[in-house]
């Protein structure tokens, strides 16, 4: 079965397929959907195996009732094992962008039985309407007709950024009638550069402070900055080795690969726990005191550096 990623997410239903393949041309969307599905399985008591290897005999852990989701870099079975039966309670998830390898994996999976193929592509007017309608209902938003169509036509076609922009609207007011109000709330500029700010993390505190202050000059930019850090930390957390991490790393950030691997090599489980704890705190503080985003954000950035290099 094929399904558009935005349809899968807006339906918010359980994913019950034994084999799940996420693909498409929007890599940040692929990462978002992978995290969404993994969270769905975890909430249902599944043990998520991040080793990158498939083991039909795995028993999960004490809390999983032997139900396991395997996150794999590629199709796990040899050609003559394509009809291999996946035991009840086991599921595999593979995520990769379009390409020859993705086509091979998809063909192998579909030959071996029923598979859910989730397609992740840049949003268009129709798909943005679907997401916006779901977001409005979920968050009890009231938008005038002019504002509604302004959002559809003017907000970003990248899913992760589009959702970030919508979330900013909820911080302002549940009822928005004027386009000028939206323009004040959401103004995304140099999003690629904002995505690169994190990769200065290994520099000294003085340079880090300068980079942060020059680029993170609004609460809108700060939330985009935070979302980019979440993406990189998730890649590090879910990758059993640097090869898998590089495979998941956004291709448009090729110039930052070397720094990313240095960061990856310095991280461990304890550091990740501390980093996520800091993320949770800074998000909570910023929601309560948005005017302090710069002070709170810079302190978070410096603390994150301290965690990584410790």
Over the stretch 12-59, which tens digit does the pLDDT of each residue have?
777 888 888 888 888 878 888 888 898 888 888 888 888 777 776 665
When comparing pLDDT for 80 and 164, which is higher?
164
pLDDT score, position 76: 57
Is residue 133 within 8 Å of 152, Cβ to Cβ?
Answer: no
Q: How confident is the model at residue 136 (pLDDT cuts 50, 70, 90)?
A: very high
Over the stretch 67-122, which tens digit does the pLDDT of each residue have?
888 878 766 555 444 445 666 778 888 888 888 877 777 777 776 667 888 999 88
Domain 2-120 belongs in CATH node 3.90.950.20: no
Cα gap 263→225, rounded to integer Å: 17
List the one residue out of 124, 176, 172 whose CA is nearest residue 147. 176
DSSP-assigned states of every residue in 164-231? HHHHHHHHH-SEE--HHHHHHH-----HHHHHHGGGGTTS-HHHHHHHHHHH--SHHHHHHHHHHHHH
Is residue 128 within 8 Å of 162, Cβ to Cβ?
Answer: yes
Taking the model in full, what pTM does it have? 0.55
């Amino acid at each position: 079965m094929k399904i558009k990623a935005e349809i899968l997410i807006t339906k918010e239903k359980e994913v019950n397929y034994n084999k799940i393949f996420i693909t498409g041309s929007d890599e940040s969307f692929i990462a978002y959907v992978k995290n969404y599905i993994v969270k769905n399985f975890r909430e249902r008591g599944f043990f998520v195996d991040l080793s990158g290897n498939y083991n039909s005999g795995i028993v999960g852990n004490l809390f999983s009732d032997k139900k396991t989701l395997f996150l794999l870099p590629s199709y796990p079975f040899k050609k003559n094992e394509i009809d291999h039966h996946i035991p009840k309670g086991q599921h595999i998830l593979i995520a990769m962008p379009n390409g020859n390898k993705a086509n091979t994996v998809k063909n192998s999976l579909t030959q071996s039985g029923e598979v859910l193929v989730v397609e992740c592509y840049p949003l268009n007017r129709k798909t943005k309407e679907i997401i916006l309608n779901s977001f409005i209902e979920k968050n009890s938003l009231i938008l005038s007709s002019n504002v509604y169509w302004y959002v559809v036509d003017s907000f970003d076609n990248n899913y992760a950024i589009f959702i970030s922009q919508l979330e900013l609207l909820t911080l302002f007011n549940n009822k928005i009638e004027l386009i000028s109000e939206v323009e004040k709330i959401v103004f995304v500029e140099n999003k690629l550069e904002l995505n690169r700010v994190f990769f200065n993390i290994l520099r000294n505190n003085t340079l880090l402070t300068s980079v942060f202050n020059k680029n993170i000059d609004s609460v809108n930019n700060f939330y985009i900055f935070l979302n980019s850090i979440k993406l990189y930390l998730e890649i590090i957390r879910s990758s059993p080795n640097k090869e898998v991490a590089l495979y998941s790393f956004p291709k448009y950030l090729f110039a930052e690969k070397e720094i990313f691997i240095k960061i990856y090599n310095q991280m461990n489980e304890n550091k990740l726990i501390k980093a996520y704890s800091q993320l949770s705190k800074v998000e909570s503080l910023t929601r309560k005191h948005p005017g302090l985003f710069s002070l709170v954000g810079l302190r978070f950035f410096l603390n994150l550096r301290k965690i990584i290099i410790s």
